[in-house]
Amino acid sequence: MTLLDRRNHHLFQPLLYQVATGGLSPANIASPLRTILKRQKNARVLFAEATDIDVANRRVVLSDGEVSYDTLIVATGAHQHYFGHDEWERVAPGLKTIEDATRIRRRVLVAFEAAERESDPDELRAWLTFVIIGGGPTGVELAGALAEIAHETFKRDFRSINPAEAQILLLQRPDRILPTYPPTLSAKAEASLARLGVTVRTGGVVTDVRPHFVSVRFGERDESIYSHTVLWTAGVQASPLGRNLATAIGAEADRAGRVVVEADLSLPDHSEIFVIGDLASFSHQTGALCRALQRWRCSRGDTWGIS
């Protein structure tokens, strides 16, 4: 069995928001791959980046070579999606990696420190305004954690400002947060955020993101929200490797680039290739997209490749 990864650690992404807000250190949610598999004598870990898949010759093409396979499992996941505005990433970082989390943590801490020294009321308000774009699970968790920092963690740490006056804004384009969950849970989540001091605003379309403000259109009305700390949790797009694979074998990919798989997660006419996790589009059980294909076992073939 061969495991290919461009990072040398396994990351538990659901707790990235805790690293981003200082609740956990990176070591709490990341474990070295070699440590995880050290008892698996038949497992080999290669630090490598997969760039393409040669289906005809059963090879994974790497940035610096290639690896042959008998059975291939592709689980390259997804990355942040800015819907055609990749330039916004510099101003509004997403939350998919350890590096993202530590960058966000630094921005949050710097904002409070800058506010402590700010004398201009408008600039002070901008430093203490935190905007999270996207009301899915990550956005909701991040907004709640930021509110707890402002109201609890930092409440006695500053002398010139009151951190509890920080404004945490959660912007969501649909008419409710957590739209993939039942409406009753969305309502409970919004009520919980309100108790924490988070302001949820729905129905707004972000039209621009700049270093000092976010432009949002609510119906026919345009609004600028001044903030020095904007965070992006509005969407994800599947790894480009998935679309490359789908194109190579003539398989279908959905709008987000996820590969449409068979009921056993294999690809049509290629029973030796499986696509799992956030890269897979699976709707065989209920007819609706299953967003969590995280547990899966395969006993076919004698060589596995995961990139």
- In the Cβ-directed half-sphere of 162, how many Cα atoms lie within 13 Å? 3
Distance CA 242, CA 279 (A): 6
> Are residues 297 and 264 in contact, defined by beta-carbon separation less than 8 angstroms?
no
Q: Of the residues 87, 89, 141, 165, which is catalytic?
A: 141
Residue 197 gets the label, from left (phi > 0), alpha (psi -120 to 50) or beta, of: left
Residue 152 annotated to the active site: no
Distance CA 165, CA 258 (A): 42
Distance CA 307, CA 77 (A): 10
Kindly report the length of the chain.
307
Listed residue (68, 111, 145) closest to 227, CA to CA: 111
Residues 6 or more apart from 281 whose CB is under 8 A from it? 252, 253, 254, 258, 259, 260, 261, 289
Distance CA 234, CA 289 (A): 18
Catalytic residues: 141
